[in-house]
Amino acid sequence: MFEVRDLTVSYGGVEAVRSASLSVPDAGITCLIGRNGAGKSSLVNAIAGLVPSRGSVVLGERDLSSASTTRRARAGIALVPETRRVYATLSARENLLLGARGRSREVADRYAEILELFPPIAAFERRFGNQLSGGEQQMVAIGRALMCRPRLLVLDEPSLGLAPIIVSAVLDAVQSLATKGQGVLLIEQNGRAALSVSQRAYSMAEGRVAVIDHQSPHFDPSSLEALYL
């Protein structure tokens, strides 16, 4: 459903991403793990069209390599950034509705689906963004991205700064989405958590991407120790 082919991102002559290739099916979770500084965020930004890159970005039958960030979003790529970017002076509900697209009835139905996915939102939907905890902000950020019914949901470090119990709840919700047909690209430093919920996996180090056969009975997690926090 989604493919990145030979993607390269350079900053002032230094390659942060080096001919990276990966693919994400139209349902299920694909993870990309690696330590801080491996190039993961540069790859995410290139997928979203936020930084210049060489190579190809293809969603379904559409080549989005030269498309703007807006066009990529309209094509169905939704990014939940590492910093969440929840607006401080808007309520949780208003933040969610920023991602809405479609007729009022469709928006209302989708909002109800988000509340079903993240029931705690109903209790704090009228609180402002700067009054929310990190976990609450993460729920809102993911829900906002889902309001437009994306084909590909890209999650950049969703576990960052969250307590283990909140991380577990967020990953459970992502798994629920995937079982219902949502394609997810999960970018994580928390390799063990990411591999535990993913059907397809890649590692990234020094700007290069490699496949991880973590479904194999012979897979040894300790072989990727350098990629974990």
pTM of the model: 0.92
Q: What's the pLDDT score for residue 227?
A: 65
Domains along the chain with CATH numbers = 1-76+152-217 (3.40.50.300), 86-149 (no CATH)
The three-state secondary structure class of 24 is strand
Q: CA 163 to CA 134: how far, in whole Å?
A: 9
pLDDT at 150 (0 to 100): 95
- Structure token pair of residue 8: 């390269």
The pLDDT of residue 192: 86
For position 135, what pLDDT does the model report? 94
pLDDT digits (tens, 9 = 90+) for 126-155: 999 999 999 999 999 999 999 999 999 999
Q: How many residues does the chain have?
A: 229
| Predicted pLDDT at 83 | 86
CB distance 78 to 150 below 8 Å: yes
Residue 148 to residue 224: CA distance in whole angstroms: 36
What residues in the chain have per-residue pLDDT under 50?
A: 229
